Chains A and B, each alone.
Chain A
Amino acid sequence: MSEPKKFSAALDSDSRRTPGRVAFVTRRTSPYVKAKDDALVMTWPETLFRAAVAVEALGIVLVLLALFWDAPLEGLADPMQTPNPAKAPWYFLGLQELLHYFPPVIAGVLIPGMVVAALIVIPYFDINVEAEGVWLRDRARRLRIAIIAVGALTIALLLLQVWAILTPTVVVAGFMFLAAATPESPGKFHRWLVSKPLSFWIMTWFLIQATVLTTIGTFFRGAGWAWVWPWRG
Chain B
Amino acid sequence: MANPIEAYVNGLRETRWWRSVFRSGSGATNLHRSLAVQQNIFMHLFSVKMRRAALNFNVTWYLGTLSLTTFIILVATGIPLMLYYHPSVPQAYADMKDLQFVVSAGVFLRNLHRWSAHAMVLLVFAHMFKVFYRGAYRPPREFNWVIGVALLLVTLFLSYTGYLLPWDQLAFWAITVGSNILSAVPVLGQKIRFLMLGGNTVNANALLRFYVLHCVILPLIAFLFIGIHFWRIRKDGGLYTGRSKSNE
Binding site for B on A (CB under 8 A): 28, 31-32, 34-35, 37-48, 50-51, 54-55, 58-59, 62-63, 65-67, 69-79, 81-83, 86-92, 95-96, 99, 103-105, 108-109, 116, 119-120, 122-124, 128-129, 131, 199-200, 203, 207
Query: Is B93 an interface position by the 8 A CB rule?
Result: yes
Binding site for A on B (CB under 8 A): 30, 33-34, 36-37, 43, 46-53, 55, 62, 65-66, 69-70, 72-73, 89-90, 93, 96, 100, 107-108, 110-116, 118-119, 121, 125, 128-129, 132-133, 135, 137-142, 145-146, 149, 152-153, 156, 159-160, 163, 166-174, 176-178, 181-186, 189, 201-203, 237-238, 241, 243-244, 246-247
> DSSP majority for the A interface?
helix
Among A42, A58, A59, point to the contact of B48 (Cβ < 8 A).
A42
> In the assembled complex, which residues on chain B have CB atoms less than 8 Å from the CB atom of A67?
108, 111
> In the assembled complex, which residues on chain A have CB atoms less than 8 Å from the CB atom of B141?
123
CA distance A38 to B202 in the complex (A): 56
> In the assembled complex, which residues on chain A have CB atoms less than 8 Å from the CB atom of B100?
73
Q: Is the CB of A48 within 8 A of B142?
A: no
> In the assembled complex, which residues on chain B have CB atoms less than 8 Å from the CB atom of A41?
49-52, 55
CA distance A73 to B167 in the complex (A): 9
CA distance A48 to B178 in the complex (A): 40
Among B69, B129, B246, point to the contact of A203 (Cβ < 8 A).
B129
Q: Is the CB of B140 within 8 A of A89?
A: no
Chain A residue with the shortest CB-CB distance to B170: A74
Q: How far is the CB of B45 from chain A (nearest CB, A)?
A: 10
> In the assembled complex, which residues on chain B have CB atoms less than 8 Å from the CB atom of A47?
46, 50, 55
Q: Is the CB of B52 within 8 A of A40?
A: yes
Q: A42-B33, A43-B47, A86-B176 are in contact. List 15 more A-B contacts (CB 8 A).
A: A43-B43, A43-B50, A50-B55, A51-B65, A54-B65, A62-B115, A62-B116, A66-B115, A74-B168, A108-B182, A109-B189, A123-B137, A123-B139, A128-B138, A199-B132
> In the assembled complex, which residues on chain B have CB atoms less than 8 Å from the CB atom of A76?
90, 93, 167-169
CA distance A49 to B159 in the complex (A): 30
Q: Is the CB of B115 within 8 A of A71?
A: yes
The 10 closest A-B pairs by CB, nearest first: A123-B142, A104-B184, A77-B172, A66-B111, A66-B112, A108-B181, A86-B173, A71-B114, A74-B169, A40-B49
Q: How far is the CB of A73 from chain B (nearest CB, A)?
A: 5
CA distance A129 to B121 in the complex (A): 27
CA distance A62 to B145 in the complex (A): 28
CA distance A58 to B65 in the complex (A): 10
Q: How far is the CB of A205 from chain B (nearest CB, A)?
A: 13
CA distance A83 to B177 in the complex (A): 11
Q: How far is the CB of B151 from chain A (nearest CB, A)?
A: 12
Q: Is the CB of A58 within 8 A of B178?
A: no
Among A35, A55, A82, A207, point to the contact of B237 (Cβ < 8 A).
A35
Q: Is the CB of B52 within 8 A of A39?
A: yes
CA distance A76 to B173 in the complex (A): 11
Q: How far is the CB of A157 from chain B (nearest CB, A)?
A: 21
